[in-house]
Amino acid sequence: MNPDGDGAASHEAAPAKVNLYLHVTGRRADGYHSLSSLVAFAGVGDRLAVRSIARGLTLETSGPFAAAVPGDAAANLVVRAARQMLAAAGRTDGLALTLVKTLPVAAGLGGGSADAAATMRAIERHLGLSLAESRRRAIALALGADVPACLASVPVLMGGIGDRLAPYRALPPVGIVLVNPNLPLSTAAVFQALDGRFSPDDPMPAMALDFNHLTAALAARRNDLEAPARQLCPALDAVLAALGGQPEVALARMSGSGATCFGLTRDAATAAAVARRLAAARADWWVAASTLSGGCA
């Protein structure tokens, strides 16, 4: 049962997922695309809380992007994740979920997937569940391709459709600036615009990296979805130009299917300074700074 005591809430972070590179390596017969990516997590994200109630399942949302969270339970990953966890454990507990939505939606940061993964972790701890790892992974993958990686929330090399994960312990802590033009971008539309251009797998070597080695290895790779995303959302050109124009930013790239882009700096203090500069210049953009590393804070 909840270690915080009766009636207390269990809290869980849902850190932003960042694709440091993303190669689309093919398309399967079932329509899903095969991917190769190095995924890491930033120290910014949503927050999820769960507490016990007499009966039922409720979800309350708050935060700057709460209005964009789907109200339909069938489309809401948090609700679906909670129902899947209860069903897998054979439980009928009443649960009240609270989601503080601080990440933009449809932004390439795995926000919905991170929220679903945080829901799984929070419920498992709150109810004292001990699901088999294979069962947890199956639930996560059924919820979405990014959910297994978000469930771990540590740097991983991702393959397949998101179902093949290998820990990546060579990633050094670095500063990261996240910028979104406050425009949602449909993942399906971006994949459709890719038009069958595929890349080799080319995973990052699992060797100890310092900042220079990391950015050089990433620069030799790319995000295959960036070009089609820029066609669909021309505002990305200005975002990437602004990030790339900062002298402290060693690498500027789009994350996932967009529209959030990131810039890597040597440390969090430098990232914060760059973020302040960009936010002052473009008040219409969402800008955040953090450290890029593993872990669920």
Q: Which of 115, 146, 195, 201 is catalytic?
A: 146
Residue burial 220-234, b: 16+ Cβ < 10 Å; e: rest:
ebbbbbbbbbbebbe
* Continuous H helices in the chain: 77-89, 111-126, 133-143, 147-152, 187-194, 211-219, 226-232, 235-244, 268-281
> Tokens 């809290």, residue?
11
Residue type, 18: V
Q: Is 101 a catalytic residue?
A: no
Q: What is the DSSP string of 198-250?
A: -----PPP-S---HHHHHHHHHTS-BTTHHHHHHH-THHHHHHHHHHTSTT-S
Q: How far apart are CA 52 and CA 82, in angstroms?
A: 13
The residues near 22 (Cβ < 8 Å, ≥ 6 apart) are 35, 36, 37, 222, 223, 224, 225, 256
Question: In the annotation, is 146 catalytic?
Answer: yes
Pairing of strands 33-53, 57-62: unpaired
279: left (phi over 0), alpha (psi -120 to 50) or beta: alpha
Catalytic residue among 6, 17, 224, 284: 17
Instruction: Report, as residue numbers or ranges, the catalytic residues.
Output: 17, 146
